[in-house]
Amino acid sequence: MFRPVRWDYFYDSVGKSIIALVRKLIKLRRQQVHFSDGEHFFYNHHDYYQSKSIMLFSRTYKNNFSLIALNFGDEEQKVPFSFPFNGDYREELHGSDNLKDIVSGLETWLTVPSNYGRIWTLETV
């Protein structure tokens, strides 16, 4: 089946922002081993996440840990999460929602924008 691509949309503002996001995600996958190797875990808590159109999963490899939060809904959501490791977490997509001084096992509220997501990675020394 032939599905033509509308190349004229590739260079408008929306197309440029989508291409920039895809390139950023590809770069993350290539630079951080835990996005392609190691373990993944899906956080299945209907009341906290799925009922709010949120999907949370993590990627772990040795000392590397990232939490990926996706919001498939039309409204920003705030959800609780208990990180498994102490430390500072850098937000990988835009760097504006970094989490400082996280204590493992202590509930932290995360804000996930509508129809978008966040990736928080534990900063290692």
pLDDT at 12: 82
**pLDDT tens, 27-66?**
999 999 899 899 999 999 999 999 999 999 999 999 899 9
**pLDDT tens, 6-19?**
777 777 887 788 88
* Domains defined for the chain, CATH in brackets: 37-122 (2.60.40.1180)
pTM of the model: 0.85
Q: What is the mean pLDDT of residues 86-98?
A: 93
Average pLDDT for the chain: 91
- Return the residue matching tokens 């993350």: 28
Quick check: 24 pLDDT over 70?
A: yes
pLDDT at 3: 64
Residues in the chain: 125
Q: What is the mean pLDDT of residues 108-114?
A: 96
Q: Is 58 exposed, middle or buried (0-12, 13-18, 19+ CB in 10 A)?
A: buried
Share of the chain above pLDDT 70, in %: 95
Q: What is the mean pLDDT of residues 67-89?
A: 97
- How far apart are the C-alpha atoms of 79 and 6, rounded to whole Å? 37
The token duo for 10 is 């590739």
Quick check: 83 pLDDT over 90?
A: yes
